[in-house]
Homo-oligomer: A and B are copies of this chain.
Amino acid sequence: MKRLTGTNEEISNILYQEQLELSKENLDVEATVREIIEKVKEEGDEALRVYSEKFDHVVLSELHVSDQVINEAFDKIDKDVLTALENAKANIESYHKQQLEGGFEDQPSQGVLRGQLIRPIERVGVYVPGGTAAYPSSVLMNVIPAKIAGVKEIVMITPPQEHFVPAILVAAKLAGVDKIYQVGGAQGIAALAYGTQTLPKVDKITGPGNIFVATAKKLVYGVVGIDMIAGPSEIGVIADSTANPVYVAADLLSQAEHDVRARAILVTNSAELADTVELEIEKQLQTLPRQAIARPSIENNGRIIIAQDVESMFELMNLVAPEHLEIAMDKAYDYLDQVQNAGSIFLGHDTSEPIGDYYAGANHVLPTTATSRFSSALGVHDFIKRIQYTQYSKAAVNTAEKDITTLAYAEGLQAHARAIEVRNDKN
């Protein structure tokens, strides 16, 4: 892991430049993706078949994944996996139900009523990657908050394959997906955005995907809502001398194994801990099945920062604004106040980050590349709309008339003023 040294300001400048690199646009595939989207918009199902043959090498007979196929997945699934998915589902549900929000209403003065309604988004599409990135845990994390929000119809799409991973279909059914279609890539995103003869158009699309999927989501944003464009996974660990280097190393590697571009960052005020963690990482890497991914990730993007003191550790980590933040310190809970930017926090020596990936209940769809400065984990709030309402009696409009028309005339918008004046019988 590369060590960053210098003053807090110098280190924060380095971190900022590294983050800008990560958030750079990838324009290479845009033209291709634009073309795919246009084709799906014009030709619908036929374009989906053509692209599935071209990209997935599958001749599609049916776009819809039948109940029979889903039922077979329940027969095939490993029973321990099924139990784990059911338990994870219960935890994710009980966490996310706490995010449900109500509307409000007030009567600030005579004849005036104001409020805010909460409405679920009507139809949501969830993208689930195929191949090795087909994660049933992601199905639960994307679908359950939508279901709790009250979304009426949840449609899932996933690239066609000869044999679906049973856990993917089972997770979809457990979480409450209404319909599954086998179509992937940019063509799948286009189908969700514009609809085809078979696929209904949705109001919002969530879920991870490769660069084609991410670019397609970016391009259809506006026609539909999207969750976010996620970058590579990140873990930041704040650890002091009370931390267990074996645990810290294991947790840093757990994110490093995701992707050669993943970032693992250790900030510590103990030079000794930094040294032992480095030795321990090397030791654990030796026997790690995904060493070919985790090693370059650690070597290229791993960072160790030795901070002066506890305050500096948090100051620097707030600049990193990591997707996952572990606080590997005694009494970690007491340091929550110091966190300004992070997607999800894991407190204390035993709360390993994978607990959150799979199980504890908080969402694992999280803001990456420092976007936790301004955005949050996926949640129920991403599947609702807040609709404002206002009611004024005629007397109330007349009372407010002078203020409103004064501002309207000041802004040069006379029709605005007239709409108020016309309500006054004295005019």
A interface list, Cβ under 8 A from B? 20, 23, 25, 78, 80-81, 83-85, 87-88, 91, 94-95, 98-99, 101, 104, 106, 108, 112-114, 116-117, 119, 121-122, 132, 135-137, 167, 203-204, 219, 222-225, 229, 246-247, 250-251, 253-254, 256-258, 284, 288-290, 294, 332-333, 336, 339-363, 369, 371-377, 379, 381, 385-394, 396-397, 400, 402-404, 406-408, 410-420, 422-423
Residues in B neighbouring A408, C-beta threshold 8 A: 354, 357-358
Complex copy number for this chain: 2
Nearest chain B residue, comparing its CB with the CB of A364:
B388
A345 engages B407 (CB within 8 Å)? no
CA gap between A98 and B379 in the complex, in Å: 21
Please report whether the interface of chain A is mostly helix, strand, loop or mixed according to DSSP.
Answer: mixed
B84 engages A406 (CB within 8 Å)? yes
B391 engages A347 (CB within 8 Å)? yes
Q: Given the interface contacts A98-B106, A362-B114, does A357 sit within 8 Å of B416 by beta carbon?
A: yes
A403 engages B363 (CB within 8 Å)? no
Q: Given the interface contacts A137-B411, A290-B413, A377-B388, does A400 sit within 8 Å of B247 by beta carbon?
A: no
Residues in B neighbouring A84, C-beta threshold 8 A: 402-404, 406-407, 410
Residues in B neighbouring A290, C-beta threshold 8 A: 412-415
Q: Given the interface contacts A352-B423, A415-B290, does A358 sit within 8 Å of B407 by beta carbon?
A: yes
Residues in B neighbouring A355, C-beta threshold 8 A: 390, 392, 397, 400, 404, 420
CA gap between A420 and B354 in the complex, in Å: 7
Known: A250-B415, A254-B415. 5 other contacts (CB 8 A): A87-B403, A117-B339, A250-B422, A354-B419, A359-B403
